[in-house]
Chains A and B, each alone.
Chain A
Amino acid sequence: MPTTDHGVTSPSRARIGERTLRQDRWWLQPLTTFVVFSAFVVYATVRAFMGRDYYASPYLSPFYSPCLGDCVEGASDFGQPFAWWPLSAALIILIFPLGFRMTCYYYRKAYYRAFWLSPPACGVAEPHGAYSGETRLPLVLQNVHRYFWYAAVVVGLVLTFDVVLAFRPMPAEYAVGDGETSGIHMGLGTLLMIVNVVFIWLYTLSCHSCRHIVGGRLRHFSQHPVRYRLWTWVSRLNTSHGRWAWYSLFSVALVDLYIFLLATGTIQDLRFF
């Protein structure tokens, strides 16, 4: 798209026609982000609206956890306060992880670049004529990120609880041997859920708002040694926030897909013990 005369081609600047002189494949990163994020959004939307095949005992899909609507038997670990809800139960709770990720400082960078092309890459002119950043509605709402972080901690706890439940013994009909219905169980699903919850926590705890809350807001670290220690830990995680964002995005989709395949009977859970 041609640029307007607001930017690098405005009259006072050095007269260079190209919107960028970069010779590397600068478009690769935004394109990858665009494709992967779009694929995730499509997949997640479909799955969230389906309203079924989200529970394969003892596994509950993270898209539906906690399942607070009129959920299938065994999925409602926290009761059914929204039993009257006519749509998919996922829609009741997805706003929290969705909001957390939408307002996340890393995701903002990624989607402003890949979807808004604002800018598509460093030193590459953006196609927009005007720009006001995050100063107006709706983007000024990005500032509520810390509240989504509080919610994300709750979501993280729920998903951790789900992992504990994923060690539950299988119902009798799935038993491999005679009477094997008690004790603990672990299958590939459990393993995937463990991996997922680890990435979810890494992502949640490496959040910039978390870093601010635990200690970043202080001006005298020396007077708060415990919070300073916490801050240094979070800071270390924070340097890879983007990586945890991607890994947890993949892991959450993978766990859901695995449970979907189990629930539809396409595959059988690989059972370790």
Chain B
Amino acid sequence: MSDTNGPAEGRHPMTGNAMSGDARGGMERHAYDVVVVGAGGAGLRAAIAAHDAGARTAIVCKSLLGKAHTVMAEGGIAAAMGNRWPEDNWEVHFRDTMRGGKMLNNWRMAQLHAQEAPERVQELEDWGALFDRTEDGLISQRDFGGHKYARLAHVGDRTGLEMIRTLQQRAVSLGIDVFMECTVTDVFKEGDRVSGAFAYWRESGRFIVFDAPSVILATGGIGKSFKVTSNSWEYTGDGHALAMRAGASLINMEFVQFHPTGMVWPPSVKGLLVTESVRGDGGILKNSEGERFMFDYIPEFFRAETADTVEEADAWYEDKKNNRRPPELLPRDEVARAINSEIKAGRGTPHGGIYLDIASRRSPEFIRKRLPSMYHQFKELADVDITAEPMEIGPTCHYVMGGVEVDADTQESAVTGLYAVGECSGGMHGSNRLGGNSLGDLLVFGKRAGEHASTYAASLRGARPQVDEADVRAAQASALAPFEVEGGENPYSIQSDLQQSMNDLVGIIRTRTELEESLGEIEAFKERARTMVVEGHRQYNPGWHLALDLRNMLIVSECIAKAALAREESRGGHTRDDFPGPDPAWGTKNLVVTLDAAGTGVELHEKPLPEMPDELKGYFA
């Protein structure tokens, strides 16, 4: 490595972290109080909180610091600060969140989120974030689907970048240790309690053992199991799978959010997100016949608060008090389904999407000012000038509402010492997440998890669970297994087949026969994965990395398909063609999945939804 600028001898060149003396070719070993897996918004916020609570904290992330998927978030952070609408408060936000999730949310999480998000946003500003401002100099808030008031704190259409950079800079200034390009493959336990984690450096292929009583999973989602997705390669469901293998359960896995507006052309960017702000700022959806079709798709549940004429919808942008919201700003699941129906009815665009038009409705200056990165994205990648012509868009896999089942207040899973936050945790968003609620979720529960993980670690004093050396050997053998096989298939083709199969069979509209077919295919993929082969050696070998990630993708895909098959109704992010409406009986229970006894498949259980206290029920009377 660089001799003049490289870190001191014995420290890792990527991160500056100290290695053990016999590191060369051997195994590194580090002891921490709290190990955070993932360095997106949730992981960074959790690490900051754990550090502030006095814990020795490490962040372990698959990519370089600051590259996590949070950077892709565009719209904003939902927080009832009341800067635009003084009548906004946590109760209204709570109500919007629950209604958006079709009442399947964990009420306590929705409540905590609505209550604590404003302070979490202010905190970012203390650490150097530069949000867009109102005329009074306060943090500006914008409109988004499903939110009654303009509530999303934002920075143009790159809020996620602002958030991750702010948290990253805060974490760096606090001196928190970061293990970059380092992938966690196992969580160790002693008895029922977490004792550490096992990981490998992507760069060198060398292994690391972390001795730590608290592990916080903040690994994001599962989008890479689908072909058309707005998610990056990292979204392979690592946290979901790690938690299951450690004995925790997942919840709500059937609910996968398809964002209504992803790019459909050119092929290389198919699925790439087009922010909801385009609609919040005046964009409308049209089919190939030029018809503004969303008025035909207003569901009964939202009829009272949605405009039913073009005049009222257009007047809303100027006068929000006296008009109802345009139907383009219905929650994402509704809009995605509507777009899907239009395309299926043969009213799609040449590239198989529908039109999202802001060019004919707003001035070029306005568009460039409010949506700079969308302008840039279409200009650079599709050669489309969004100030002059409509965009072609279609639904894209965006977010998984399901995740590790955790305690609402502490984010602890069923395994003592194992926490999950952000997208890889479940419950908060119910069956459908509102735009802007994910960034708030990361901050609110990141902080809570960090604090509780730290408190738990401190409470152990000397009596920490120990990592069993036999487990370390097993973890190492498992990680190296793909090199041992000869004559098998390469992981890229299995991954690509899995993505196609999930897209076709477990996509936005589902039926029993297709879901059953998909479960059969997943079994076949699992079989193929057992004999997949990796070429080359351990040093920065993407084929090997994918082979390890693929195991997680397969198990998570099975969870989704199994849960989707069981839930015989349509609700939020889960739409069954054979059960088109919501079923009140299903509205009272969650589906929970765990690993089966053999560890090769998943098991499904029903669990009643936690009941909301009466004072909160009042908001929905």
Contact = CB atoms under 8 A, between A and B. Distances in A.
A and B form one complex: yes
Interface of A: 11-12, 222
A42 to B, nearest CB: 42
A254 B3 CA distance: 54
Contacts of B3: 11-12
B313 to A, nearest CB: 35
Contacts of B2: 12
B369 to A, nearest CB: 15
Nearest to A12: B2
Contacts of A222: 137
A222 B133 CA distance: 13
Interface in B95-145: 137
Contacts of A11: 3
B585 to A, nearest CB: 58
A194 B282 CA distance: 49
Interface string B1-16: 1110000000000000
Contacts of B137: 222
A12 B137 CA distance: 49
Instruction: Please list the 5 inter-chain residue pairs (A to B) with the smallest Cβ-Cβ separation, ordered nearest first.
Output: A12-B2, A12-B1, A12-B3, A222-B137, A11-B3
A12 B3 CA distance: 8
B128 to A, nearest CB: 15
A222 B135 CA distance: 11
A222 B137 CA distance: 10
B295 to A, nearest CB: 43
A11 B3 CA distance: 9
B539 to A, nearest CB: 15
A232 to B, nearest CB: 15
A11 B1 CA distance: 9
A109 to B, nearest CB: 26
Contacts of B1: 12
Interface string B296-335: 0000000000000000000000000000000000000000
A85 to B, nearest CB: 53
A220 to B, nearest CB: 11
A12 B1 CA distance: 6
5 contacts: A11-B3, A12-B1, A12-B2, A12-B3, A222-B137
A11 B2 CA distance: 8
A12 B2 CA distance: 6
B360 to A, nearest CB: 29
A200 to B, nearest CB: 32
B8 to A, nearest CB: 16
Nearest to A11: B3
A12 B5 CA distance: 11
Interface in B354-399: none
Interface in B67-111: none
Interface string B144-180: 0000000000000000000000000000000000000
B12 to A, nearest CB: 16
Nearest to B3: A12
A134 to B, nearest CB: 22
Nearest to A222: B137
Interface in B392-445: none
Contacts of A12: 1-3
Nearest to B13: A12
A236 B124 CA distance: 32
A222 B136 CA distance: 12
A104 B337 CA distance: 59
Nearest to A13: B2
B383 to A, nearest CB: 22
Nearest to B133: A222
A236 to B, nearest CB: 15
A222 B3 CA distance: 48
A164 B200 CA distance: 77
B203 to A, nearest CB: 14
B3 to A, nearest CB: 7
Nearest to B137: A222
B384 to A, nearest CB: 26
A222 B1 CA distance: 48
Nearest to B1: A12
Interface in B1-49: 1-3
B613 to A, nearest CB: 46
Nearest to B2: A12
B130 to A, nearest CB: 13
B601 to A, nearest CB: 45
A54 B137 CA distance: 58
A221 to B, nearest CB: 12
A11 B6 CA distance: 13
A33 B134 CA distance: 47
B13 to A, nearest CB: 10
A240 to B, nearest CB: 20
A110 B324 CA distance: 58
A215 to B, nearest CB: 19
B17 to A, nearest CB: 20
Interface centre among B1, B2, B137 (most CB of A within 10 A): B2
A239 B367 CA distance: 22
A13 to B, nearest CB: 9
A11 B137 CA distance: 52
A20 B359 CA distance: 43
A222 B2 CA distance: 46
A74 B3 CA distance: 68
